[in-house]
Amino acid sequence: QLAESGGGSVQPGGSLKLTCAVSGCTTAGYCPLGWFRQAPGKKREGIAAIGWDDTMAVADSVKGRFFISRHPARRALYLDMYSLRADDTGMYYCAADRSGQMADQVVRGTFGMGYWGNGTLVTVSS
């Protein structure tokens, strides 16, 4: 089960921290985690991920501005977002899977993710 929080409205240049409460993932299991977003009228895209082996990957579009981290026991996933821009606006989703996916595979959407949260809305506007 996944539940996102932390979305809201922010001005360009601002920052937000998203949190995803995760249940069912353990440090002993194959449990890659990722953040995705869907902007209005666009396809959902991978933003950042932590692979089953704790490798990390971040999409080029947010590199240097967004940072992913997790609770040590994988009970939560975080996304720190800085220097937000209008094109960062969208619904942000947390996702998990029971597989051996590496972080870059999660971001690219190579195999898909099996579990999804309901999303949290981020609006960047002046």
Torsion angle of the four alpha carbons 23, 28, 30, 31, in this order, in degrees rounded to the nearest 10 = 30
Instruction: Determine the straight-line distance between the first and last CA of the chain, rounded to whole angstroms.
Output: 34
pLDDT in tens, the chain (126 residues): 899 999 999 999 999 999 999 988 765 568 899 999 999 999 999 999 999 888 999 999 999 999 999 988 888 999 999 999 999 999 999 999 988 899 999 999 988 999 999 999 999 999
d(CA 112, CA 91): 18
Task: Annotate 25-57 with b (16+ C-beta within 10 A) or e (fewer).
Answer: beeeeebbbbbbbeeeeeebbbbbbbbbeeebb
Euclidean distance between CA atoms 44 and 34, whole angstroms:
12
Q: Kindly state the tokens that stand for 59.
A: 């999409």
Taking CA atoms, 83 is separated from 14, 111, 125, in Å, by 5, 30, 12
